[in-house]
Every structure is written in structure tokens, then in C-alpha cells.
């Protein structure tokens, strides 16, 4: 019998194989790629979501944390880049600007806002308490933190409640007119020409 046709070696055992077994094909099929993508998606779904823009606060020396609301700076910031006064955030002196709700707020509930661009280049504002002037924060030392502040911002109190309700309704109507409904989106997709098959 030739070696080619022998199943067993001299001791009666199966010969050792030197053949390499590949568990993953060199070029995966479309179906295999889909299965890999599904497995990766399942793994990612189990991972905790990291917020794209975490909430920020500025903590004053006394421990009070003021929510820092992200928003573009007011127009006056571009006219006076040196600021109205300065605050210190994480050891860096920053120019700040102020705005107020005095034009539309109830007299006993006006709110002032302190605007700044933080060292991490995020612009926004912190909200003062009712009838507290923003300039009282001049020279304050703050520590920037992530998460929910331990102090809630005061609620807006309009001077004319009915006028404010009408303003909100007008805003909601305007925004609704700009939005496209799911039915309109489906109609747009159905009317789009299909790409040429190559």
C-alpha cells in the first residue's frame, strides 16, 4: 500500500495534519459582512450613551453652581471684545458681557445674564437670580464642571402674561410651518428619480 492510500501510520493512529484551518475567510461575503455589522451594532447598543454636549456649570467659591447654557454671544460682544468686566474660570481671566430681561419681565422678577466664552471655546451664559445685577459677578472665581448644577435657574416671569402666551403660540406656529411631516417626506422620496444602475 502506498503512503498516499494509508489512513493510519505505523502505530495505528491517524496521521497529524499540517493543514491550517481558517475560521474567517480572506474575503468576507456580503452576508458575512452584514452579520459582522449586526454584531458590532449589538455591542455598541449595550455601551452607555455619551452625551454629545454634556451639561456644564460654573461653580462659585461658595459652592453654588450656575448652569452654563450654550448659546452664541450677544451682538454687543463683537462690538466690545474687551467685555464689560471679567470673571476667572479655572484660573483664566475671561471678558464677559451682560443682558437683562427688564424689557419684558415683571418688575419684581427681572433677570440678568452673564455671557462668556469659556477656556474650552464654548460660548453661552449663566443666569443670575431675580433682581441680582450681573456686575456683582465681576472678578468672581469659578470652576468649570460637567453635569447638572446644584442650583436651578429662576423661571421667566413676563410682565404681560397674555402677550407672552401669544408670543409662544406665534413661535410654535412658525416652527411647525418649517417642519416637514413624515407623509410629506415619504411623498418627496417617492417622487425622486432613481439613480442609474451601473
Instruction: Pick the more confident residue, 34 or 79.
Output: 79
Domain residue limits, the chain = 56-146
Q: Give the pLDDT confidence score for residue 91 in this predicted structure.
A: 94
Supply the Cα-derived Rg of the chain in whole angstroms: 32
> What distance in Å separates the CA atoms of residue 107 and residue 176, rounded to the nearest whole number?
32
Region 46-58: mean pLDDT is: 71
Mean pLDDT value across the chain: 77
- Cβ within 8 Å of residue 151, ≥6 positions away: 64, 65, 66, 67
Q: Kindly report, residue by residue over 77-115, the tens digit of the pLDDT.
A: 999 999 999 999 999 999 999 999 888 888 888 999 999
Instruction: Pick the more confident residue, 94 or 29.
Output: 94
Helix (H, G, I), strand (E, B) or coil at 152: coil
pTM to 2 decimals? 0.60
Region 9-15: mean pLDDT is: 50
Q: Which of 91, 89, 82, 93 is nearest to 68 (CA)?
A: 89
Q: Which of 51, 68, 70, 50 is nearest to 59 (CA)?
A: 68
> What distance in Å separates the CA atoms of residue 61 and residue 87, rounded to the nearest whole number?
12
Amino acid at each position: 500500500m502506498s503512503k498516499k492510500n494509508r489512513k493510519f501510520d505505523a502505530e495505528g493512529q491517524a496521521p497529524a495534519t499540517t493543514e491550517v484551518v481558517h475560521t474567517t475567510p480572506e474575503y468576507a461575503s456580503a452576508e458575512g459582512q452584514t452579520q459582522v455589522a449586526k454584531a458590532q451594532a449589538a455591542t455598541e447598543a449595550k455601551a452607555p450613551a455619551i452625551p454629545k454636549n454634556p451639561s456644564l456649570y460654573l461653580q462659585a467659591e461658595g459652592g453654588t453652581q450656575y448652569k452654563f447654557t450654550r448659546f452664541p454671544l450677544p451682538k454687543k460682544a463683537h462690538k466690545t471684545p474687551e467685555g464689560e468686566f471679567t470673571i476667572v474660570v479655572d484660573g483664566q481671566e475671561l471678558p464677559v458681557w451682560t443682558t437683562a430681561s427688564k424689557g419684558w419681565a415683571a418688575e419684581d422678577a427681572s433677570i440678568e445674564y452673564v455671557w462668556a466664552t469659556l477656556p474650552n471655546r464654548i460660548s453661552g451664559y449663566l443666569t443670575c437670580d431675580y433682581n441680582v445685577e450681573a456686575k456683582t459677578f465681576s472678578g468672581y472665581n469659578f470652576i468649570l464642571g460637567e453635569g447638572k448644577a446644584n442650583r436651578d435657574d429662576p423661571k421667566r416671569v413676563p410682565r404681560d402674561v397674555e402677550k407672552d402666551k401669544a408670543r409662544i403660540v406665534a413661535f410654535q406656529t412658525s416652527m411647525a410651518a418649517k417642519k416637514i411631516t413624515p407623509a410629506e417626506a415619504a411623498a418627496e422620496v417617492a417622487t425622486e428619480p432613481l439613480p442609474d444602475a451601473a
